[in-house]
């Protein structure tokens, strides 16, 4: 989806047909849609001054910050979300939780992690993610630790390891998307990784990998012998 429509006060029906969420679903299937587009389909319409994609972006912000289904009160804080739309979102999430929530996914290599988090790749900002693992290297949880402006994110070890301890993780992997598509690590990426390695040694929660990813590919610190 072209993110330019998020910043424009136009109605969804004014977006070119081939770029509308419902039409994309019909043509390419449900898996081709971004998180934003999936929410837009659930909502159906926006409100005066905000199209469905703009309202969906605010819903997505709440979902990214939580690892449980939000409350109706939290959704009602979003302009354009009334009780009916809030209930539709909650019902869809609860149905998924009951019927299709997958069992913990075992991580054997960086590609397994990439497949689990690749839906964050098309975000217009940089997301720094924490993937907590149990003793069997199964994913316990994926946390959005920070959301940066464009491609700049600042991460502190206490944010990472407080979430790891909360999930009782045996090991962690961190990852972040590069909206530019350029995957090679910069100096900040390398320094952040080294700090997390040392912090993990002290706490007994090792950092297994740091993955930089785009929509189509990834760079693994572990596979390149930097961890």
Whole-angstrom Cα distance, residue 23 to residue 16?
Answer: 10
pLDDT band at 182 (very low <50, low <70, confident <90, very high): confident
Q: What is the pLDDT of residue 14?
A: 61
Is it the case that residue 16 has pLDDT exceeding 70?
no
pTM of the model: 0.69
Strand-pairing partners, residue 143, are 130
Per-residue pLDDT for 197 more than 90?
yes
Contact (CB, 8 A) for 17 and 23: yes
3-state secondary structure of 145: strand
Whether 126 has a pLDDT exceeding 60, the answer reads: yes
Q: Which residues lie across from 177 on neighbouring strands?
A: 213
Domain with CATH 3.40.140.10 in the chain: 110-220
Q: Give the CATH architecture of domain 110-220.
A: 3-Layer(aba) Sandwich (3.40)
Q: Tell me the mean pLDDT in the region 174-195.
A: 89
pLDDT tens, residue by residue, 127-172: 899 999 999 999 988 898 988 754 445 688 998 999 999 999 999 9
pLDDT of 27 above 60: yes
Please tell me whether residue 77 adopts helix, strand or coil conformation.
Answer: coil
Separation CA 14–CA 9 (nearest Å):
10
Per residue in 62-81, pLDDT (tens digit) is 888 766 788 899 999 888 78
């Amino acid at each position: 989806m072209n993110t330019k429509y998020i910043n424009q006060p136009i109605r969804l029906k004014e977006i070119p047909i081939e770029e509308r969420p419902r039409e994309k679903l019909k043509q390419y299937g449900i898996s081709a849609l971004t998180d934003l587009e999936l929410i837009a389909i659930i909502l159906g319409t926006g409100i005066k001054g905000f199209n469905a994609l703009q309202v969906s972006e605010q819903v997505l912000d709440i979902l990214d910050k939580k690892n449980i289904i939000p409350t109706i009160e939290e959704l009602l804080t979003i302009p354009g979300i009334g009780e009916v739309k809030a209930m539709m979102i909650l019902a869809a999430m609860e149905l998924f939780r009951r019927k299709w929530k997958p069992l913990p996914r075992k991580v054997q290599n960086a590609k397994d992690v990439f497949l689990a988090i690749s839906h964050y790749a098309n975000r217009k900002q940089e997301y720094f993610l924490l993937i907590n693992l149990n003793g069997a290297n199964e994913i316990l949880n994926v946390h959005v630790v920070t959301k940066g402006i464009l491609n700049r994110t600042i991460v502190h070890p206490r944010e990472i390891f407080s979430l790891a301890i909360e999930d009782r993780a045996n090991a962690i992997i961190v990852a972040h998307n590069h909206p530019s598509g350029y995957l090679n690590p910069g100096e900040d990426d390398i320094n952040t990784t080294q700090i997390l390695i040392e912090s993990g040694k002290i706490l007994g929660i090792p950092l297994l990998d740091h993955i930089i990813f785009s929509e189509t590919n990834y760079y693994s610190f572990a596979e390149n012998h930097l961890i």
